[in-house]
């Protein structure tokens, strides 16, 4: 997989100056975020770092079974409880103090 961007300090710029490819990739990523109902960076942080749900810290599992995938019904499971990705900052958070 080749990158379309390169990191310069804290920012990114085009690797080859082809903005058409950059916009297409960005558009696909934004479509995916809309489909799952949550920013991708939040989803991955939740899976890697864990979440706070019902005032408890949990390590969730991402559930992508075939029926839910077809219906765009993506969710996390924490100790048998379903946590919907679209409910980020409503029923679950990355930080205990809900400051994100």
At 70 the pLDDT is 60
Residue 78: which of 94, 66, 89, 62 has the closest Cα?
62
Give 10-residue mean pLDDT values along the chain (100 residues): 84 83 90 90 92 86 66 74 88 90
Sheet strand arrangement including 51-53: 56-58, 51-53, 92-93
């Amino acid at each position: 997989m080749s990158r379309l961007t390169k990191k310069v300090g804290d920012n990114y710029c085009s690797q080859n100056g082809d903005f058409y490819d950059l916009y297409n990739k960005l558009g696909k990523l934004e479509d995916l975020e809309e489909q799952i109902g949550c920013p991708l960076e939040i989803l991955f942080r939740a899976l890697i770092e864990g979440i706070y749900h019902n005032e408890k810290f949990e390590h969730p599992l991402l559930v992508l079974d075939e029926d839910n995938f077809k219906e765009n019904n993506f969710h996390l499971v924490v100790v048998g409880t379903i946590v919907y990705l679209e409910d980020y900052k409503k029923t679950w958070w990355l930080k205990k103090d809900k400051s994100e």
